[in-house]
Amino acid sequence: MSAFLGAGHEPLGGSHTSRADTEDVTPRPRETFVTTAPCARRASLRPVGRAPYRGEVAAPQNPARPSAALAALVRGARTLVLTGAGLSTDSGIPDYRGPGSVPRNPMTYEQFVGDAGFRRHYWARNHVGWRHMAATRPNDGHRAITALEAAGHVTGVVTQNVDTLHQRAGTRTVVDLHGSYDRVTCLGCGTLVTREALDARLTALNPGFRESHGPVDDIEIAPDADAVIEATAGFVVAPCETCGGILKPDIVYFGEQVPRERVERAFALVDDADVLLVAGSSLTVHSGLRFVRHAARRGTPVAIVNRGATRGDDLATLRLDAGTSETLVGLLPHLLPVPTGGSAA
């Protein structure tokens, strides 16, 4: 039972729920594959520094048209990237709503805090699954964003993912909108501990539990490190060592508010950007869609790269039904010069 912002639900969070996201925003004309219309704010775009592309990411053999279309929109612009689960599928983390995704019934915040049985079920499944998340590595899409940030084309990332792959790829400015799988917080005293530290305690309290479920490769894992297992009776949950309170993963559950500071920081990044690029998100939940609505209301061009339809399609200046990682990697030859005499490995 996954706890993290499930399909078809919208979190309450943040202080901007009565701003652009609740107002009517007129859909803008868009190109679904290439764009020929000049950017509405092109005259106001600020120049960015260019740095050589040094081959940390494998450049595609045949750059596809989607990357060229996207490059035409973002060239010379300060671009903020809003990422979703579709970006991390190439790292082996499943998404919630992409093609072939398994429908999930999310655990709510109220269920987690109000029922010890729900908490036991969650922590048992997470105890089995969280190391799968820890073992994943950034993919070429994450590394492409890092390269574009280093060159001044990308101003930062607002991510709906909890996998920390942007930070592990080296991106400096990241807002973890929905939190992070590798931290645990106490609902009583606010103590924050690492998931690694809690794992040691849970292992001591539940010897052999993880091993009894077999190799993690044989178990379905949700995007928030929730292993799909049913036999959780008898699992012992660890309380906070400081106050004895309830420990909760530092991720935003359905029905829980996104912390105000994160929302404000994300909106500030949107306001500072010339272009908003959505990468790998269906924008099903409100917490991500509100930034698209806000950008559209401000007249900021919105580009969406995703497999399948999104809730923001009518607001997009450019809509690409394409793979996220390959499209981002395909941007590099258009925006970052390859050093003379070298090749992108």
Give the active site residues: 178
Distance from C-alpha of 147 to C-alpha of 151, rounded to nearest angstrom: 6
Contacts of 287 by beta carbon, 8 Å cutoff, 6+ apart: 5, 10, 11, 13, 14, 160, 177, 178, 252, 258
Contacts of 75 by beta carbon, 8 Å cutoff, 6+ apart: 334, 335
Among 122, 134, 337, which residue's Cα sits nearest to residue 229? 122
Contacts of 126 by beta carbon, 8 Å cutoff, 6+ apart: 225, 226, 227, 249
Question: Which two structure tokens, joined as six digits, stand for 289?
Answer: 């869609």
Question: Which two structure tokens, joined as six digits, stand for 141?
Answer: 């899409």
Are 282 and 306 in contact by the 8 Å Cβ rule? The answer is yes
DSSP tag of 247? E
